[in-house]
Structure 1
């Protein structure tokens, strides 16, 4: 066998990472190198294999038939290296490498981060990158292994995995209720200040005030961060449209018209087929499902 004709294992693993993340920039960030280096290594791999492994689509880089065959080999190499890493660490742990996850900031902090911390304690060779972004499923290759998104899904190339439902409800602080009173009907909301997302920057319309059919409020406090919204409501800026899992005993907020208004939204995990074959991604999904199951009352309450 002519070893010079065999593809580089390093280049195969780079191709595997491109297949999962879909963007050279994201791959370069994950591997600690540059876009130019990733491009050069893919070109070298193509030359070794005698054909193109990737083709550009309107949504990002996609595998060719040859690329899919090369990725199958890369997955075998990855699995073998995982076994070796476990033996060298004397732990028998086969989960290693980097997993990148995109998630809305509130759900990410309350559910995804605890799930990942628990997972990382069990698998210390695993590295995690958590990106906060509240959006619908990206139609383009997103540069992450797993997207956590809210709201209704549009058809796409990635596989959606239902996680749970949660509720958006109206809340106010005790100080706001004391100083301004609380609405007795939904129409009375127009007489109050209102706290919600910045409508012009909102990527998931179901999270915004405009989609609720509630009347236009007297004034508004809008923020792209759900944590800023909770704090604004807590400090008396107005009535807030907040996820129920963000309103805990420590916030001390009061429900407003709980029998007249609520909105239920689904939460999904979305990944490409190449990512779903990753043991690390499967472990993340299992840990996240466990976190949701253990704290289901926080989402459904």
Structure 2
């Protein structure tokens, strides 16, 4: 009789399918890249074929691998039910979930959503990686990406979370000393605060794509928090997310009726990740957070 594949190896395959990289899986499971590779090879031998194939987007499942992952998901669900019985918490989530998100939205929306989720599920561990970039093609070893702008992906699913606005702001001190422009052309006579264009992956966040005139001088930073602070301290006019500064006395709207930019925010994940209870819970928590704070996002 052919020996059944190891449940542990099946669960490792499931983690590879979700994260896409052996290194990320090894780090998540507290082992080594070599061990993960060896366990996958052992599983392939037991199943009589390859479960994974390398692509430009990371490791992808073969047809056999997809069938094996379905079995792994059933094992995961059963173990989750057993864990709930042991802990007397049938609805509890545990394990590690990794999320990549942009700085500003991550701090203002993702963080409170995840903290609230952890309060409900104390055994759930969270790793949040901050990066303002376009959607990854290989998921970069995370369960879920939260990204701004266009999402041109072929091996993942996208879930719309919300829209938000970029608007122009200055500090009251800067406005009193330099005055504020009365037209969009007048913005070119002022200092301008924005992202470092040469390092920016999301073009929609930059000054060049805004069709605003070239500024007299610029202060560029890769961190949105540094940009907000630079505007607050009078470096110039900044193109800032409204949810970070709207309604705060340290920031004065500039030409609010003449210029604004609306951008979408998406959650992106592999199909295998989206079937994870932890990832589903994170997405639900994010939707709850943005639904409750739509006034701020639109403000």
TM-score range (shorter-chain normalised) is over 0.9
Runs of 4+ in 1 over 3 A off after TM superposition: 248-251
Matched, 1:291 2:255: no
Matched, 1:183 2:181: yes
CA distance in 1, matches of 2:54, 2:92: 33
CA distance in 2, matches of 1:147, 1:196: 23
- Choose from 209, 212, 215 the match for 1:214: 212
Residues 218-241 of structure 1 deviation map (CA, whole Å, 9 limit, x = unaligned): 111111111111011111111110
CA contact (8 A) 2:14 2:69 kept: yes
- Choose from 181, 198, 201 the match for 1:200: 198
CA contact (8 A) 1:222 1:229 kept: yes
- Choose from 86, 94, 101 the match for 1:96: 94
Task: Give runs of aligned pairs for residues 210-289 of structure 1, distance below 5 A.
Answer: 210-250=208-248, 252-289=250-287
Task: State the match for 2:129 in structure 1.
Answer: 131
What value does the CA root-mean-square deviation take over the aligned residues? 1.3
Q: Secondary structure at the match of 2:264?
A: strand
Task: State the match for 1:49 in structure 2.
Answer: 47
Q: CA deviation at 1:142?
A: 2.4
Please identify, of 83-92 and 124-133, the stretch whose mean Cα deviation from structure 2 is larger.
Answer: 83-92
Task: State the match for 1:118 in structure 2.
Answer: 116
CA contact (8 A) 2:144 2:267 kept: yes
Matched, 1:60 2:40: no
CA contact (8 A) 2:139 2:269 kept: no
Residues 201-228 of structure 1 deviation map (CA, whole Å, 9 limit, x = unaligned): 0000000000011111111111111111
Flag the 1:297–1:48 CA change in 2: closer, same or farther, 3 A: same
Q: TM-score, normalised by structure 1?
A: 0.96
Task: Give runs of aligned pairs for residues 74-93 of structure 1, distance below 5 A.
Answer: 74-93=72-91
CA contact (8 A) 1:275 1:281 kept: yes
CA contact (8 A) 1:85 1:93 kept: no
Structure 1 stretches of 5 or more lacking a match?
none
Structure 2 stretches of 5 or more lacking a match?
none
